[in-house]
């Protein structure tokens, strides 16, 4: 990877041997390893490490989970917040595992649409949830720094599964509690 970064620096017209860039290939390699650590994590194992039997069949929501990811089209960051809701069937997730799941999928090359769906699909099965809703609001540097250069644009995606999809009152309750209505 370091050789590739040196090559990129040369291709954009920089001198990879100048003082300020000498250690850039190593720094970029470390940064990418951190930013892409989701590839080394197992989402199923994350969730299974904290599932608890609980007499619970109501909506559980965690709002404003910060996320940082990398657009797979331009290798530029996008960042925002994820809101997760689910209706349990006598099993619940440890709350921090929801944030860890978001982090696991976000720390991969992504498109926001797939990221939203991956989170929702992963949550549904392990506890046999009645329904799951995931909303992501994010700003994309590939749209802000280049191309159309729209600084205040925000993309919103949602994935609604089970009762969140089939029952309008459930969906509306989630949207309201997630601050979307």
CA–CA dist 41, 102 (Å, integer)? 11
Task: Check: CB of residue 2 under 8 Å from CB of residue 26.
Answer: yes
Start-to-end CA distance of the chain, whole Å, equals 45
The active-site residue out of 44, 66, 72, 113 is 72
Identify the active-site residue in 26, 44, 73, 113.
73
Active site (annotated) includes residue 142:
yes
The verdict on whether 19 is a catalytic residue reads no
Q: Is 82 a catalytic residue?
A: no
140 catalytic residue (yes or no): yes
| Side-chain-facing half-sphere of 172: CA atoms under 13 Å | 3
Tokens 């689910």 -> residue: 86
Task: Mark whether 83 is an active-site residue.
Answer: no
Instruction: Look up 137 and say whether it is catalytic.
Output: no
Catalytic entry in 110, 112, 130, 137: 112
- Residue 121 to residue 123: CA distance in whole angstroms: 5
Closest CA to 115 of 74, 152, 82: 82
- Choosing from 56, 74, 117, 167, the catalytic residue is 74
> Residue 155 is inside which H or E element, if any?
strand 155-162
Name residues whose C-beta falls within 8 Å of residue 168's C-beta, 6 or more positions apart in sequence: none
| Among 71, 103, 110, 118, the one annotated catalytic | 71
Any idea which residues carry the catalytic annotation? 71-74, 112, 140, 142
């Amino acid at each position: 990877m370091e050789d590739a970064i040196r090559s990129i620096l040369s291709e954009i017209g920089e001198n990879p041997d100048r003082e300020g860039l000498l250690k850039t290939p190593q720094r970029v390699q470390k940064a990418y390893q951190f930013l892409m650590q989701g590839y080394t994590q197992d989402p199923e194992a994350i969730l299974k490490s904290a599932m608890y039997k609980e007499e619970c069949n109501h909506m559980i929501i965690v709002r404003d989970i910060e996320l940082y990811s990398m657009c797979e089209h331009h290798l530029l960051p996008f960042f925002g917040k994820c809101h997760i809701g689910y209706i349990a069937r006598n099993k619940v997730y440890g709350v921090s595992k929801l944030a860890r799941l978001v982090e696991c999928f976000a720390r991969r090359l992504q498109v926001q649409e797939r990221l939203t769906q991956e989170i929702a699909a992963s949550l549904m099965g392990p506890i046999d949830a009645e329904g799951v809703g995931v909303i992501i609001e994010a700003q994309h540097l590939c749209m802000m720094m280049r191309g159309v250069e729209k600084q205040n644009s925000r993309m919103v995606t949602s994935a609604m599964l089970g009762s969140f999809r089939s029952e309008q009152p459930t969906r509306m309750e989630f949207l309201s509690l997630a601050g979307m209505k």
